[in-house]
Amino acid sequence: MADQGRLQTYAAPADPHLEVAGVMKQLDGGPALLFSKVNGHDIPVIGNLLSCQANVEAAFGCDFRGVREFVGRALGDPKPPVLVERARAPAQEQVHTKDIDIGRMLPVLQHTADDAGRYMTAGIVIVKDPDTGVYNASYHRLMLAGPNRAGIQLDFGRHLRAAYERAQKKGQHLPVVVCIGSDLALHYTAATMGSQMPESADELAVAGGLCGRPLPVVKAITQDLLVPAESEIVLEGVLKCDEEVMEGPFGEFVGYLAPADPGPVLEVTALTHRTKPIYHAINGYGRETVVLRKHVLEASLLKVLQGAVPIVTDAEMTAGGLHRFHAVVQVRKASPAHDGLQRNAIMASFGALKDLDMVIVVDDDIDIRDPADVEYALATRMEASKDIFMLPAARGHEYVRVSDRGMRTKLGIDATVPFAEKTRFARCEFKPVQVDAAAMTTDAGVARKRLGL
C-alpha cells in the first residue's frame, strides 16, 4: 500500500482518548493512516486501513472485480489451515499470561465522547462451535471493563451468538481468541455474511481459500483453539457463561449510538503479540466499517443471483446505503422470455442478504456505479404506479431506527424496459472522436483572438 501512495504517517503525538479517532474521521475515505506516536504507548496505531476502494485494491494488488473473484473462490474452494510450530508464529513472539492489563498494554481508543469507554473495534473473534467443532470468525466490538476483562456485543442472528448460547446451555464458558491485525484473507472472511456463509462453513478454511493457500495457524497458549499465526496481537480467553456487564453505548456504522445492553464478559487469559506489533483500529461510524463488507456482500449476492437468475450481470452495494442496505442490480435481457426475471432478481436479493432493504434493478446500458446514471433510469424507465412493490414486515437490521426491532418494509424498484421496447428507449449515440488536447485553451485572450474578436 505504501508503494502505491495509499499509506500516510501521522508523525505528531496523538492521544488515544478521542484524538486518534477524530483524525481518522476527518481523513476518512483517504489513504490508510499510521499513527507513529501514540501518547502513553510504544505501539503504533493504524486506521482507515480499508476505508476506500483504492486502499482495498492496493492491498489486494488487483481491481475490485478481482477482489470479488477472490471472495467467490474462497466460498467454493476452502483450504483447511496448516499447523506451524510456535517458533514460526509471529503472533506468539511475546507471551503474557500474568498481570494482564489490556488498557495499559494496548493503545485501545475511546472513539467518541458519548461512548461508554475504550473499545477494541478491529478484533476478529474466533471460536470453535461447542457442538460441531466448526471454526467461526467474525467482527465484534469489545469494551474494556477491567484490566483483563471486556464486554462484548453479540448481534441477534450471528453465528457467535449461537455458539455462545449453546455453550451457555451446557453451563460452559466459551473459549475464544481475538486477533487484531491478521491476514487480509481473514479480515474479509470475517466480514462475509448472508446465505453464502452458513454455520457449517469453517471460516479458517474459507480464509485459506480466499488467499489461495492454507492459513498458517498455531495452538493457543491457554485455550484449546487455533490462532492465525501471522496476527499482530492476540487475546486469548473465555466468554463467561454466567457473567454479564452493561456494554455500550457506542457509535455504530449507522451513525447513531447503539444503546447500552447487557453483554457477556470476555475474561482474558493470555495476551500475545509480535515483538513490534501494530494495533489496528476501526471507527465504528467510519468508512472502513462499511467498505470492508462491500465486496464480500457483492460477491455473495452475485453468487446467489447468477445461479438463480442468469440474466443478472453485475451488482453494486451503494455507498449511500452504507454498502449494506441498498443494492443496484444490472440485468441483460436477450429475449422476450427474460421479461419478468428482473423482478425475480429483486426477490432473490432480499433472500440472499437479510439486511438489504431496497433493490433497484436496471438494464445493462446503465452504469450501476454512477448514481446519476441510476437516477436517470429511475427518472425515465420507472413508472411508480406499476414498477414499485413492497414486502412488508420483513427482517432487516435492528440498528435501523425506523424499523420495528429490525422488521421493516422492503422496497423493490423495477427500472428496466421490456425487451420489445429496448430500441425505443435506446439513448442517442455520438461519434467517437479523438480530442486534440493541444487545441484546447482556458486563456480568454487566446480564445478571442482565434475567434477574430
Q: How far is CA 432 from CA 418, 427, 435, 437, in A?
A: 28, 15, 9, 15
Q: What pairs with residue 176 in β-bridges?
A: 127, 237
Question: What single-letter amino acid sits at 160?
Answer: L
CB-facing half-sphere around the CA of 304: CA atoms within 13 A: 23
Rounded Cα gap, residues 216 and 221, in angstroms:
16
Which ranges in the chain are annotated with CATH 2.30.110.10?
A: 77-283
Query: What per-residue confidence (pLDDT) applies to 437?
Result: 87
Phi-psi region of 78 (alpha: psi -120 to 50; beta: other; left: phi over 0): beta
Phi, psi of 108, rounded to the nearest 5 degrees: -70, 130
pTM of the model: 0.88
pLDDT tens per residue across all 453 residues of the chain: 777 889 999 999 999 999 999 999 999 999 999 999 999 999 999 999 999 999 999 998 999 888 888 887 777 789 999 999 999 999 999 999 999 999 999 999 999 999 999 999 999 999 999 999 999 999 999 999 999 999 998 987 788 999 999 999 999 999 999 999 999 999 989 987 655 577 788 999 999 998 889 999 999 999 999 999 999 999 999 999 999 999 999 999 889 899 999 999 999 999 999 999 999 999 999 999 899 889 889 988 998 999 999 999 999 999 999 999 999 999 999 999 999 999 999 999 999 999 999 999 999 999 999 999 999 999 999 999 999 999 999 999 888 999 998 899 999 999 999 999 999 999 999 999 999 988 888 777 766 776 677
The CATH architecture of the domain made up of 77-283 is: Roll (2.30)
Instruction: Identify the three-state secondary structure at position 404.
Output: strand
Superfamily assignment of 309-421 in CATH?
A: UbiD C-terminal domain-like (3.40.1670.10)
Considering the chain, tell me which residue range(s) the CATH 3.40.1670.10 domain(s) occupy: 309-421
- Tens digit of each residue's pLDDT (9 = 90 or more) over 118-135: 999 999 999 999 999 999
Read off φ and ψ for residue 72, nearest 5 degrees: -60, -40
Cβ-count burial 330-354 (b if 16+ within 10 Å, e if not): bbebeeeebbebbbbbbbbbbebbb
**DSSP per position, 130-172:** TTT--EEEEE--EEEEETTEEEE---TT-HHHHHHHHHHHTT-
Q: Residues, the chain, total?
A: 453
pLDDT above 70 as % of the chain:
98
Report the pLDDT value the prediction gives residue 356, as an integer from 0 to 100: 96
Q: Each residue of 52-98: pLDDT tens digit? A: 999 999 998 999 888 888 887 777 789 999 999 999 999 999 999 99
411 contacts 358 by C-beta, under 8 angstroms = yes
Residue 278's closest CA among 388, 419, 179, 154?
Answer: 179
DSSP SS3 for 342? helix
Give me the pLDDT at residue 196, please: 59
Measuring CA to CA, how many Å separate 153 from each of 70, 75, 427? 29, 26, 50
